Chain A
Amino acid sequence: MQSQMIKSMVGPAFAAILIMCLLPVVLETYTLTLLVVYGMLGLSLGLIWGYGGILCFGQAAFFGLGAYSYAIAAINIGESTVPVFIGILVPAVVAFLLGAMMFYGRLADVYMGVITLVFTLILFRFMNSTAGPDFVIGKARLGGFNGIPGYQTLNVPGFPDEYIYGDALYYLAFSLLIVIYLLLRWFLKTSFGRTAIAIRENEERVELMGYDVRIRKTLLFSLGGGIAGLAGVLYANWAEIVTPGLFSLGQSAEIIIWCIVGGLGMLVGPIFGGMLIGLMKFLLGQQSMIDNTLILGLVLVLFVLFLPKGVVPTVSKWLPTGRTKSRKRRRKSQGRSRKSEA
């Protein structure tokens, strides 16, 4: 079982590394790094939504928390290794607490959506009103609407002057994405992962079988929060400034959009969705003929109408080799639409 598992991962791992090495030929790494960050953020929601059935309107909150925690810790500590872990841990713990509150309270469906949305809005409001000199954590001013610039960016552990930036940051981010992707593939094959999927399919049945659904959902949610936090840490290092916009409603909604555009119920879909939309915005910004908001809106509407299952499942259906897989996916996405009727 174990060795078979490893064998099944060698292929995707090689493909991913190949993609990582080939992409810089087409695009500059500063754009690619952001796309990778978006991919990771998409993946974090794709995991809890696509596999746990938890539709979170507030994934941006964990993304922003990761970025802010990193920035604040980096200003106070000055060396990046510990801040990176803080940037993952804080959102994971917050997600755990928020998740526990929701799942032990048996919140489901859109009610859960509202709680996560409200949570994000509270953070957004709070961060926006921290411009005054009283809002200080250690040496770090929170800065309100203008955000926090000028913190220590990622360095080689132990060497605060050896920065990891530019191309190196891209390779680091992409490698982390690959590692997370593979770990999640493995995770979904474990009994915990299988139960998570079972919960998505039918929560009651799983509960009647004697599993504690609440703690499982909470843990999965926390895992998603941690991954979003890591994406936030990488973002903070790429952008070199964090602003409350990271917590905005628009950012949250966008992550949901990535998942739908890419294809839900699979790990590659949301990654691809995030990268695709990120790339589209970048390309759109280079033209000034038509209002960009309008184009983006139109694209989304057409998407839902003509590619309702997302890009990745649709494309893999066209490819002859993907035939067997796509049948499995179709079943999953039907599961999704069945769920959404509830």
Chain B
Amino acid sequence: MTLNRRDFMAGTAGLLTAACGAMIPGSALAIDKIKFGSILDTSGIFDAYGKPMDMAARLAIDEINEAGGLNGASIDVTAYDTQSNMALYTQFGQKLVRQDKVDVVHGGILSASREAIRQTMRKSKTLYFYNVLYEGGVCDRNIFITGVTPSQQVEVLVPHAIKKWGKKIYVLAADYNYGQITANWIKKYAADAGAEVIAVDFFPLDVADFGSTIAKIQTAKPDMIVSVLVGGAHLSFYRQWAAAGMNKKIPMASTTLGVGNEHKVLTADEGDGILVAYNYSPELKSPANTKFLQGWTKKFGDTSLIHEIAVSNYQGVHLWAEAVRRAGSTDRTKVTEALETGLSIKGPGGLVTIDPQTHHAILDVHVMEIKNQKMNVLESALQRPPLDTQSACDLKANPDDNTQYEIKA
């Protein structure tokens, strides 16, 4: 039975592949165009992350095209909306590499969405950029990751907060990989600074009622809270915290608030005083950022939509473009080698350098205080390497590695 079906399948498969091959319209029309694939959730529950990312990528491409393209060829964008649906990542990922035959793919937001397409990109030898703040540890020579990882944030944020507020830390974290790993890094850097994490509470992403937690925190009497809460439901925590008047009593730092512009959902009164650490703030004063903000205003108008990972995406596109210029081609091997020279660009968030060992980014991390729905920079730590991923991943020694390491702090 199985054998029969197999034979039959093999037969029909061959036949139909031949038939299809003849039917697919010629895709070699645009030779002088570089094909850029983008795959993001621009509708559905993750659209607050995806929409600005999509806009940032389009802005970057426009800038490159206006400056004459790459090596004389202009860039053509093929963008898909995955509607916050994992199955569509697989579908569009396949479509990008098989039908559209793009030269590079940028995209993916959740870690699960990255994992849904990463192997497809690897198998089809399509260069892939994942430009999002994430839990770290991906080790694969076909992918470049330009977002911040937990150690980069925590290493800067936690010591700063301890110096400011004291040594008893209460951690609230989203119950998934990013939250778990970040909580471990917080423990490590707190211990290094002579402080102590007195409790860690994990919350699934759909918990929206924090009354009991707020009571529990008051029983524990910490000097500060570090929040690793993620997503729309968890925003309720900040609001209920303020409604109980606690924001005036116990200070808070966060590694996540603001990544998707969450601090703009909070009122100024609720958000003021919270410390965060990211690669980007619209308040940064640098020529690159001024240029970026001007470009955004010209193309889209409203700059209030810009957030951390939109800028990561923008920087990711420019890093790739710079590598294509250096390599003189869009060939995957050549571009990868160009990036592995430790290539860097000046982005809105500061200098971004590719770390050849991990294919992650070495970035500036700024400690910022939320004030009046803005992120004001207090301290900048320049060129922080991705220590977490470096501890497990060495693509120079091990170029065929294809794992996501879970990094123990």
| Contact flag (A, B; Cβ within 8 A) | yes
Is residue B115 contacting chain A, with contact meaning CB distance below 8 A?
yes
Known: A145-B175, A167-B16. A28 touches B94 (CB 8 A): yes
Tell me which of B85, B115, B204 contacts A129 (CB under 8 A).
Answer: B204
* Contact assessment for B81 and A239 in the assembled complex, using a CB-CB cutoff below 8 Å: no
Tell me which of B12, B54, B205 contacts A128 (CB under 8 A).
Answer: B205
A139 to chain B, nearest CB (A): 14
Roughly how many angstroms separate A286 CA and B81 CA in the complex, as a whole number?
Answer: 6
The interface on chain A, measured as residues whose beta carbon lies within 8 A of the other chain's beta carbons, has a size of 44
Q: In the complex, which residues of chain A have a beta carbon less than 8 angstroms from the beta carbon of B94?
A: 28, 30-31
Is residue B303 contacting chain A, with contact meaning CB distance below 8 A?
no
Roughly how many angstroms separate A292 CA and B42 CA in the complex, as a whole number?
Answer: 9
Residue of A nearest to B403 (CB): A150
Residue of B nearest to A25 (CB): B23
Roughly how many angstroms separate A285 CA and B88 CA in the complex, as a whole number?
Answer: 8
B135 to chain A, nearest CB (A): 8
Known: A30-B95, A131-B180, A243-B86. A291 touches B43 (CB 8 A): yes
Q: Which of A12-48 contact B (CB under 8 A)?
A: 21, 24-25, 28, 30-31, 34
Q: Which of A198-257 contact B (CB under 8 A)?
A: 235, 238-241, 243, 245
* Contact assessment for A25 and B177 in the assembled complex, using a CB-CB cutoff below 8 Å: no
Is residue A106 contacting chain B, with contact meaning CB distance below 8 A?
no
A28 to chain B, nearest CB (A): 6
Is residue A70 contacting chain B, with contact meaning CB distance below 8 A?
no
* Contact assessment for A34 and B42 in the assembled complex, using a CB-CB cutoff below 8 Å: no
Q: Which of B1-29 contact A (CB under 8 A)?
A: 2, 5-6, 8-10, 12-13, 16-17, 19-20, 23
A73 to chain B, nearest CB (A): 19
Residue of A nearest to B2 (CB): A157
Please report A residues at the B interface, Cβ cutoff 8 Å: 21, 24-25, 28, 30-31, 34, 125, 128-129, 131-133, 143-147, 149-150, 156-157, 167-168, 171-172, 175, 235, 238-241, 243, 245, 281-282, 284-288, 291-293
Please report B residues at the A interface, Cβ cutoff 8 Å: 2, 5-6, 8-10, 12-13, 16-17, 19-20, 23, 42-44, 54, 79-83, 85-88, 90-92, 94-95, 98-99, 110-112, 115-116, 119, 175-177, 179-180, 202, 204-206, 404, 406
Q: Pick 30 A–B contacts, CB within 8 A, sort by A.
A: A28-B99, A30-B91, A31-B94, A125-B204, A128-B204, A129-B175, A129-B202, A131-B175, A144-B177, A145-B175, A145-B176, A145-B205, A146-B111, A146-B176, A146-B177, A149-B404, A168-B9, A168-B13, A171-B13, A175-B8, A240-B119, A241-B86, A245-B112, A284-B83, A285-B81, A285-B82, A285-B92, A288-B42, A288-B54, A293-B83
**Nearest 9 pairs of A and B residues by beta carbon:** A145-B176, A30-B94, A149-B115, A292-B43, A171-B9, A131-B176, A167-B13, A285-B81, A144-B176
